[in-house]
């Protein structure tokens, strides 16, 4: 089982990228599980198309432990298994602790044994990497971490912090940094800035995604680019990225 965590600054296009990668991998014949680790609980919406799916923490708050594994999941495009960790009641509790509770509940309910996914992708908010937000990096969860950034200063700063956290966890059996993904915002000297970041953190830029209206067009109809515009250039970019992630993880 390949286990990947994708981190990046909020609003960088992380969930869009992860969902399209999940869809691409599912089309390639892999059994994919995508786990949204963001309190907004919107990581998988373009895959399953529901207005709302129960988050793990909502189920825990409402039913304690009296709910099933199927209550926690939804089947999305091409059979992708969708999970949303969710977050605490606004103003109460810690979002990081919520991620810990949600991932522990998935293990407790036997999600990985029941669904037997070939690929598990954790979509993690990465403005800070502490407490529960580092949970997907820990032993038993992800094996490789990929960081999404643009050439914008705040996105690069967040990516550097994520890389610093990964370096700090080295030796504890945590995930390794698999590479940097540039999601273009067409800012000045963007590729040079992101390459410099990758060099500074001892990594490499493994993919560059174009800024494209196709992505927004797909989101307007609540679908991934892979599903909505399968013949588009952007769909091909996501398929290429999916193959690259598997290659870095030693599968292809």
Query: Which H, E and C letters describe 84-118, residue by residue?
Result: ECCCCCCCCCCHHHHHHHHHHHHHHCCHHHHHCCC
Grouping H, G, I as helix, E, B as strand and the rest as coil, residue 145 is strand
Q: What's the rounded Cα separation, in Å, for the pair 10 and 46?
A: 17
What's the half-sphere exposure (Cβ side, CA atoms, 13 Å) at 231? 0
Closest CA relative to residue 181, chosen from 166, 191, 171? 191
End-to-end CA distance of the chain: 13
Q: Which residues are catalytic?
A: 9, 14, 40, 127
């Amino acid at each position: 089982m390949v286990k990947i965590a994708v981190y990046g600054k909020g609003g960088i296009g992380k969930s869009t990228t992860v969902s399209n990668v999940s869809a691409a991998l599912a089309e390639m014949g892999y059994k994919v599980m995508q786990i949204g680790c963001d309190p907004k609980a919107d990581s998988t919406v373009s895959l399953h198309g529901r207005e709302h799916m129960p988050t793990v923490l909502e189920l825990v708050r409402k039913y304690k432990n009296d709910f099933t594994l199927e209550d926690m999941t939804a089947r999305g495009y091409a059979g992708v298994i969708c999970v949303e960790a969710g977050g605490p009641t606004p103003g109460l509790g810690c979002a990081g602790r919520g991620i810990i509770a949600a991932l522990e509940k998935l293990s407790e309910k036997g999600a990985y044994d029941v669904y037997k996914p070939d690929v598990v992708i954790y979509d993690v908010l990465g403005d800070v990497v502490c407490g529960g937000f580092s949970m997907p990096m820990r032993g038993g969860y992800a094996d490789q971490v990929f960081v999404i950034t643009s050439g914008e200063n705040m996105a690069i700063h967040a990516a550097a912090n994520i890389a610093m956290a990964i370096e700090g966890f080295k030796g504890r059996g945590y995930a390794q940094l698999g590479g940097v993904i540039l999601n273009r915002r067409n800012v000045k000297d963007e590729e040079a800035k992101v390459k410099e970041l990758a060099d500074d953190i001892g990594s490499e830029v493994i993919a560059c995604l174009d800024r494209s209206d196709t992505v927004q067009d797909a989101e307007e109809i609540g679908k991934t680019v892979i599903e909505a515009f399968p013949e588009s250039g952007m769909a091909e970019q996501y398929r290429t990225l999916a193959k690259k992630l598997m290659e870095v993880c030693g599968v292809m």
